[in-house]
Amino acid sequence: MKTVEELICEYCEILHGIYEKTASNPFFTQYYLAHYGKKYFKIIMKQKDKETGEWSSSDSVHAFVEKKTGNVLMASSYKAPAKNGVRYNLFNDLEYIKDNADWAGSYLYKR
């Protein structure tokens, strides 16, 4: 059985792959990075210049993942997840995320 950390790496790779397939930005590519926190991993969207290789100075939060359970939560702000419920679980829903996620996060709204 995979760990939450391994699933988060896979989740970030899935999101990057979706961005590369569906977004058409000739100047930047977008990466998804996990920042380790007290209760959550914060999934950050960060852009990298294709020509210079420099990282953008700004970033935004894509989602939060509970460290103990693998539950995926929508971001309410840069520092906190939304309090209106779990969207997915990386242990149970990774295949669904692969098939239905989008790079911008609209799949995180209540279904």
What is the DSSP annotation of 20-31? HHH---SSEEEE
Residue 97: name the closest of 85, 86, 108, 82 by CA: 108
The residue range of the domain holding 98 is 4-104
State the pLDDT at residue 111.
60
Beta strands in the chain (DSSP E): 28-36, 40-49, 55-66, 71-74, 88-89
3-state secondary structure of 75: strand
pLDDT of 24 reads 77
pLDDT for 72: 97
Is residue 110 in a domain?
Answer: no
Of residues 110 and 62, the one with the higher pLDDT is 62
Residue type present at position 52: T
pLDDT value for 26 = 87
pLDDT in tens, 23-70: 878 899 999 999 999 999 999 999 999 999 999 998 999 999 999 999
Mean pLDDT, rounded, of the chain: 93
- The total of structural domains in the chain comes to 1
Note whether residue 11 is domain-resident: yes
Residue 97 lies in a domain: yes
The reply to whether 65 falls in a domain is yes
- pLDDT value for 65: 98
Whole-number Cα distances in Å, 105 to 53, 62, 64, 79, 100: 25, 6, 12, 17, 10
Share of the chain above pLDDT 70, in %: 98
Alpha carbons 47 and 38: distance in angstroms, whole number: 25
In the predicted structure, residue 91 carries a pLDDT above the cut 90: yes
Q: Please give the average per-residue pLDDT across 83-101, as a whole number.
A: 94
* Domain-embedded: residue 59: yes
